[in-house]
Chain A
């Protein structure tokens, strides 16, 4: 792994949901090109952390930088920063009133101001990359979950982001379609994309991750390369969690 530039820097971030402490003084650096996998029980704050990285969640205190821009500063043009951060959701969130091609085209034309022709060219290349070219004129409701998620990945990639965030991308999928989405993600990793993935897919973590983070109760309990993580975790809490999930 190239330990060159810091792509994302999280410093002492705290976030409450009412009385609940969702993020408890979290600090984290993610490097350019790194593949980081975040695991942990539900309610541990891993999705909240991910969503804070593009300000879908605001934080109470601390600082977050993505590619040098401070995310949680009101002065920052958040829309500009978000163009550089792709996000893939558990529930896909494709636009149901638009075809597959239009889904991938929309933000390119509206945000990046590309012409329809230029956008379509880029979209088609990406749809090919996620193995779903033949569905470009279909509406999302006609697609399986795995297909929808692959379109969602293409939609995010169309913005040419510097970082991709994945929020449990396979949790809502039927078991037989999980593999096709993970394959697309693995290809993306091979291309050198900086990726932060919240997931329960331990096989994926073991194979792709440069580093694994275990979160519980809003804090990072343990982090390390996957070989250390899955064979010899240092924390008892991590061991318990892995025993339950594996």
Chain B
């Protein structure tokens, strides 16, 4: 659970579920916890591989293909989700009742259905009409789901910009689209970026769900290895450690990026 409060308007709080806590230097407790977890996970992997290469070294060699697919799904989904989210957010702010209604219903429906059910639904629903590869269904499903959450982030970010900014731009003759593009969105990015970073990490974890659609991601590669070698405990230990190392690394990367562009927390 991460909360971002815009410094100008304390009312605007963007709350996003279940990304891992992003460490900053100012939050000393979390910072230490991050180091303990990250270094600990690395050491455990090294120790396991070093002292018991069979099966751990074999597992480690088998997983990278899956990690690549996990990244692929995550990056493609997040990019598509950003586009969907931007339009959803704008739609939710629209004065046009129909556009607003469509965007709002989309958000409500998607938020009310578990991601796993959505994955099945899109995979099999799309599958009845067109023959799409599992990877495409997976990306579409993840993006449709996360697009709804992104929409709320965009909406809150845009709403956090003082209305005087819009008025100043409009009074200069700028259209609403120009105002959004040149004045509102560039300012909203600072508010929007931390929760989007959070969503990215959350999406990466949720991407493990696509393994049930026959997409060979990290988790599915692990399952395949375990099923052949009957080393369930060892394999899933490594899979869990891989996820942990990746998400902790990304969280750190995101917090560094945020510091660079001067996001206020």
Contacts and interface: CB of A to CB of B under 8 A. Distances in A.
Interface of A: 54, 56, 79-80, 82-83, 85-87, 89, 91, 93-97, 106-107, 110-111, 152, 155-156, 159
Contacts of A152: 168
- Give the interface size bracket for B toward A: 10 to 19
Interface string B166-201: 011111111100100011001100000000000000
**Among A79, A83, A86, A155: residue with most chain B CB under 10 A:** A79
A85 B178 contact: no
A14 to B, nearest CB: 22
A82 B168 contact: no
B165 A107 contact: no
A93 B164 contact: yes
Contact of B171 (A82, A96, A106): A82
Given A110-B178, A110-B182, A89 B168 contact: yes
Nearest to A112: B173
B90 to A, nearest CB: 19
Contacts of B175: 79
A160 B53 CA distance: 76
Given A95-B183, A96-B187, A97-B186, A107 B167 contact: no
Given A79-B174, A97-B186, A97-B187, A107 B169 contact: yes
Given A82-B171, A152-B168, 6 more contacts: A56-B170, A95-B168, A95-B169, A95-B183, A97-B186, A159-B172
Contacts of A159: 172-173
The secondary-structure label for the interface of chain A is mixed
Contacts of A155: 172
B174 A107 contact: yes
Contacts of B187: 95-97
Contacts of A94: 168
